[in-house]
């Protein structure tokens, strides 16, 4: 049956921009979040390289050899260290070969560095703190074009307090840890700005697949999450974000985490929630939740959702403000339900639009009553609706 219950006194903000997804490019090239073709791994000019031959790594800058030995990490760090000191434009390091490094170590990238790893880094052993396969802190203009990681790092990539950060084609097939974290927690008074993530595949983490905290300006192409211990993509206190696709299977199974989660005043600008978080589509199968907005977050529009078989709520909006779900279309298939809720320690949920959904073997529930909530053009199939 059709359920329509408009109850809004103001105008609902509609997202009018259509995000176009280009057809896959040949294997020789990849696609960036901006839609431009990127070179295959290792192609193009570079200033330094680390190359594996047999069991020996050699790092060179031009005609100068800066490292020879058996350590992949030492070779990569030597190549990075050989770049021009005090540079104010990007210089590039290409890594050719696969190897291993300890979870208790990291490759540190300074400002104006481009890293392109044409091989796989396998992380072994244990570590603590903020160790990561690739680590950058307090940096400007850092780029990781390609990176493949296996094993159990604490973090695959960890960036703290940066400006102009670009992550290209990232493949993280892990057995523990967190995939990618970008935050501003070295100095929370200054946001990490202008971050672009083109295409991430992440699986097997014990924590989130991709997590941001304290950003202003984020563009993401696709996050593909498989069997992550917590959320596929989690945005915390992040402003002005555009995400094309979150595609998650079994993200946060047995937990309250979600394929796509917004938390900790995500999308809040000053004391208001203007629309500044735009997501083209969220696909979720299994796992904990599909979409979860919590703890005074909002200012978000999700164009399309395709959610089924979640173990917890398919969609939970809890103490969030100005959020539109399925601006264009969507399907939700149970057993997980769609729920608008609120905790008493925060202002009640408000200005929520749930629309254009086909809801099957599920439910739509609003409890407690929100303010200025709208439910319209939703088709209920073997589903119930309990709203205020």
Mean pLDDT of 189-205: 98
Cα(125)–Cα(105) distance, integer angstroms: 10
Assign 33 a pLDDT band (cuts: 50, 70, 90): low
Between the alpha carbon of residue 87 and those of residues 34, 102, 196, 348, the distances in Å are: 26, 29, 22, 50
pLDDT per residue as tens digits for the range 212-266: 999 999 999 999 999 999 999 999 999 999 999 999 999 999 999 999 999 999 9
Between the alpha carbon of residue 227 and those of residues 148, 194, 310, the distances in Å are: 17, 29, 13
Residue 159 has pLDDT above 60, yes or no: yes
Q: How far is CA 26 from the centre of its chain?
A: 25
- The confidence score (pLDDT) of residue 5 equals 43
Whole-model pTM: value is 0.90
Q: How many residues does the chain have?
A: 388
- The confidence score (pLDDT) of residue 8 equals 39
- The confidence score (pLDDT) of residue 300 equals 98
- The confidence score (pLDDT) of residue 31 equals 55
Q: 143 Cβ partners below 8 Å, 6+ apart? A: 90, 113, 114, 115, 165, 166, 167, 168
Between the alpha carbon of residue 330 and those of residues 116, 197, 303, the distances in Å are: 38, 25, 8
pLDDT per residue as tens digits for the range 122-147: 999 999 999 999 999 999 999 999 99
Task: Look at residues 45, 70, 48, 43 and name the one whose alpha carbon lies nearest to residue 59.
Answer: 48
pLDDT per residue as tens digits for the range 209-224: 999 999 999 999 999 9
Residues 42, 168 contacting (CB under 8 angstroms)? no
Residue 19 has pLDDT above 50, yes or no: no
Residue 193 has pLDDT above 50, yes or no: yes
């Amino acid at each position: 049956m059709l359920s329509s219950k408009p109850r809004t006194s103001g105008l609902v903000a509609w997202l009018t921009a259509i995000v176009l997804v280009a057809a896959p490019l040949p294997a020789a090239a990849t696609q960036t979040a901006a839609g431009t073709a990127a070179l295959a791994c290792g192609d193009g000019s570079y200033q330094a390289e680390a190359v594996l031959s047999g069991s020996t790594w050699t790092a060179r800058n031009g005609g100068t050899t800066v490292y020879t030995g058996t350590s992949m990490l030492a070779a990569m760090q030597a190549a990075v260290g050989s770049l021009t000191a005090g540079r104010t434009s990007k210089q590039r390091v290409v890594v050719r070969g696969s190897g291993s490094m300890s979870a208790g170590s990291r490759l540190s990238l300074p400002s104006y560095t481009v890293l392109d790893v044409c091989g796989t880094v396998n992380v072994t052993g244990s570590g603590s703190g903020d160790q990561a396969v690739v680590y950058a802190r307090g940096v400007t203009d850092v780029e990781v074009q390609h990176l493949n990681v296996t094993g159990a790092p604490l973090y695959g990539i960890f960036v703290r307090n940066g400006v102009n950060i670009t992550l290209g084609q990232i493949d993280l097939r892990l057995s523990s840890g967190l995939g990618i974290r970008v935050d501003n927690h070295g100095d929370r008074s200054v946001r990490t700005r202008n971050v672009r993530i083109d295409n991430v595949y992440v699986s097997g983490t014990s924590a989130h697949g991709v997590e941001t905290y304290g950003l202003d300006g984020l563009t993401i192409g696709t996050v593909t999450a498989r069997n992550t211990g917590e959320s596929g993509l989690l945005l915390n206190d992040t402003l002005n974000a555009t995400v094309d696709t979150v595609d998650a299977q079994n993200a946060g199974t047995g937990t309250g985490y979600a394929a796509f989660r917004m938390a900790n005043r995500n999308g809040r600008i000053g004391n208001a929630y203007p629309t500044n978080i735009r997501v083209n589509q969220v696909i979720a199968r299994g796992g904990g939740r599909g979409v979860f907005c919590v703890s005074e977050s909002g200012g978000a529009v999700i164009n399309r959702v395709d959610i089924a078989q979640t173990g917890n709520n398919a969609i939970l909006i809890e103490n969030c403000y100005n959020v539109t779900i399925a601006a264009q279309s969507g399907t939700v298939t149970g057993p997980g339900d769609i729920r608008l809720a609120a905790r008493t320690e925060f202002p009640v949920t408000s200005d929520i639009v749930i629309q254009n959904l086909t809801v099957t073997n599920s439910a739509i529930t609003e409890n407690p009553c929100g303010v200025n909530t709208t439910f319209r053009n939703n088709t209920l199939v073997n589903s119930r609706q309990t709203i205020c």
